[in-house]
Amino acid sequence: MDQDDIEMEIDGEDSLDIHVVTPGEVVTRDSAFMRGHGTYTEDETLVASLAGVVDRVNKLISIKPLRTRYNGEIGDVVVGRITEVAQKRWKVDMNARQDGVLLLSSVNLPGGVQRRKNESDELQMRTFFAEGDMLSAEVQAFFQDGAASLHTRSIKYGKLRNGSLVTVPSALIKRTKSHFVTLPCGVDVILGLNGYIWVAKHVPISPEQANQPDALYHNDNEPIADQEREIIARVSNTILALAKHNNFINDTMIVYAYEAGSSHRVKDILKPDISQEIVQTARAQFQEAQQH
């Protein structure tokens, strides 16, 4: 493709053509554009440093790769796993370039007690979160080196129980108003923007229960009936099917795909032809809903 074609595609406002570039490819020679993520400038020309799709917002050009590590933003809801208990902090695997950091000062104490954390809290850190525990959290800030600092200072966040983890490419998760959804089928889904999704049994928590000393950090699952387990597995497989076909994932899409696949057995959902059929039905339904 020569230079004129590329520029034409960028300038064409209404063209829906997707412009794919590879590292080292010149995106534009027009110095009016600003460089965004995945690009760099070399002698007044804008060059791609990633393989992906060119994304232009007004004058800002960035490259969106399909598969990459999670790049956090402040306020994102993430799901992660504790990898290490360190001095006054936990290290959290969140599919990012570096482990996230959860400071002892940014978690709630059991029973919702409000006070400064002291040495005795530091010694019992492992009773709050131990290695391998799953948690949901919010990105609070970034350190100098780009590591994310997390917090769980809300009743919404904290240790995850009663469910299973589904991992998808982080680019597929759509930013929505709420990432904590309860599906009509009675399953809680936490859509972590880092591509980790927690699918769990819906357990309503009353305010009195939330103030129990061990409500926040206990490690025991509720009894989960076989039928509930099947629904959790069904939702998990539905999400995986959506991810397999590179379809974006949000609550409505999961519901549509869940309904489309309800006639199939759980283990069949991931079979190539069935998953394709499910995703296509869900997509069609979504587009129809958009038009109304």
Binding footprint of other proteins on the chain (CB under 8 A) = 20, 22-26, 38, 40, 42, 47, 49-53, 65-69, 91, 97-99, 145-147
Sheet containing 187-191: which strands, arranged edge to edge? 163-167, 196-201, 187-191, 180-182
Least separation in angstroms between CB 153 and other proteins? 24
Do 48 and 23 meet the contact criterion of CB atoms below 8 Å apart? yes
Minimum Å distance from CB 168 to other proteins?
13
Instruction: Report, in Å, the least distance between residue 212 CB and other proteins.
Output: 35
Of the two residues 42 and 119, which places its CB atom closer to other proteins in the complex? Answer: 42
Closest to other proteins by CB, 167 vs 285, is 167
Give a three-class secondary structure readout of the chain.
CCHHHHHHHHHCCCCCCCCEECCCCEEECCCCCEECCCEEEECCEEEECCCEEEEEECCEEEEECCCCCECCCCCCEEEEEEEEEECCEEEEECCECCCEEEEHHHCCCHHHCCCCCCHHHHHCHHHHCCCCCEEEEEEEEECCCCCEEEECCCCCCEECCCEEEEECCHHHECCCCCCEEECCCCEEEEECCCCEEEEEECCCCCHHHHCCCCCCCCCCCCCCCHHHHHHHHHHHHHHHHHHHCCCCECHHHHHHHHHHCCCCCHHHCCCHHHHHHHHHHHHHHHHHHHHC
**Closest approach of other proteins to the CB of residue 50, in Å:** 6
CB of 67 to other proteins, least distance (A): 5
The smaller minimum CB distance to other proteins, of residues 13 and 145, is found at 145
Judged by beta carbon, residue 65 or residue 112, the one nearer other proteins is 65
Of 24, 30, 23, 34, the C-alpha closest to 6 is 30
For other proteins, give the closer residue by CB, 20 or 210: 20
CB of 146 to other proteins, least distance (A): 6
- In the bound state with other proteins, the residue whose beta carbon lies nearer, of 99 and 121, is 99
Q: Can you tell me the distance from the alpha carbon of 55 to that of 20, in angstroms, rounded to the nearest whole number?
A: 10
**Which pair of tokens denotes residue 150?**
């997390």
Least Å distance between CB 269 and other proteins? 18
Of 64 and 202, CB closest to other proteins:
64
Give the residue with the Cβ less far from other proteins, 100 or 163: 100
Least Cβ distance, residue 90 to other proteins (angstroms): 13
